[in-house]
Amino acid sequence: MLVAYEYRGHMEIGIIGGTGAFGSGMAARLASWGHRVRVGSRDVLKSSATVTKLHDQWDLPDGVLVPCGNEVAAKAGVVMVALPWSSLKDTIAPLGPVLVGKTVLSPVNRISPSRQGPLPVRSGDAAAWELQQMLTGSQVATAFNHLPARAVSNPKTELDSDILVCSDFVDAFKVVEEMTRSAASVRPVYVGPLVHARAVEDFTSAIVSANIQNKRQSGLRFTDHVK
């Protein structure tokens, strides 16, 4: 059964893999936008160390970041998966029953490092598509795929980007809208169904490559020709 997420002024968000470069940055960012975030990990001590570090770096109210295991993070109202794509199946499949009825956000990019910089993985489906196949009772959506972790995790950086959301469920887009409501320069854009997730994930490698080539931390903006 799919249950529409009910917004109550702030969200309780769980991040699976919340100790990584991207997940920890998103945890602090989301907390700075007014949400309560469960920072999931395979190791609760590692999660506690991450939360302590984030509280030192960011000026956050006590208790908005909660250290926990991935299983506890998965019990939050909205869940973000911030894992390397190669570890999705082993980590997420066992959490499937806990994630039934929830919006599951995937910033996961199916890209791999190379000597020329990151490259899209040519074979196979998008990570978000794979997640949706695994989590048939959940509403999976791409989100935040193009934001560089270095920018996300820097408290002095105001994020300035569109967020491309692909999902077979429009309600999942509404969740991203609520999540980013207090972030003035972050605009979620609904792309359409998950079939477009592959293009969104692949484009990340082009953005990362452009940022390396041009020594920038650029995000992505759609422009409007008709004002």
Ligand X SMILES: NC(=O)c1ccc[n+]([C@@H]2O[C@H](COP(=O)([O-])OP(=O)(O)OC[C@H]3O[C@@H](n4cnc5c(N)ncnc54)[C@H](OP(=O)(O)O)[C@@H]3O)[C@@H](O)[C@H]2O)c1
The 73-112 site mask, x for binding ligand X (CB under 6 A), equals ---------xxxx-x---x---------------xxx---
What's the Cα-to-Cα distance from 34 to each of 4, 24, 37, 110, rounded to whole Å? 21, 16, 10, 30
Is residue 48 near ligand X by the rule CB under 6 A?
Answer: no
- Are the CB atoms for 36 and 66 separated by under 8 Å? yes
Instruction: Give the one residue of 72, 80, 147, 175 binding ligand X; rule: CB under 6 A.
Output: 147
Instruction: Give the one residue of 17, 77, 188, 219 binding ligand X; rule: CB under 6 A.
Output: 17
Nearer to ligand X, 10 or 155 (CB): 155
Instruction: Give the one residue of 5, 15, 23, 198 binding ligand X; rule: CB under 6 A.
Output: 23
In the DSSP assignment, the letter for residue 145 is T
Is residue 148 near ligand X by the rule CB under 6 A?
Answer: yes
- Are the CB atoms for 108 and 129 separated by under 8 Å? no
Neighbours of 214 (CB within 10 A): 9
And the tokens for 144? 């935040």
Q: Which residues bind ligand X (CB under 6 A)?
A: 17, 19-23, 41-43, 46, 82-85, 87, 91, 107-109, 145, 147-149
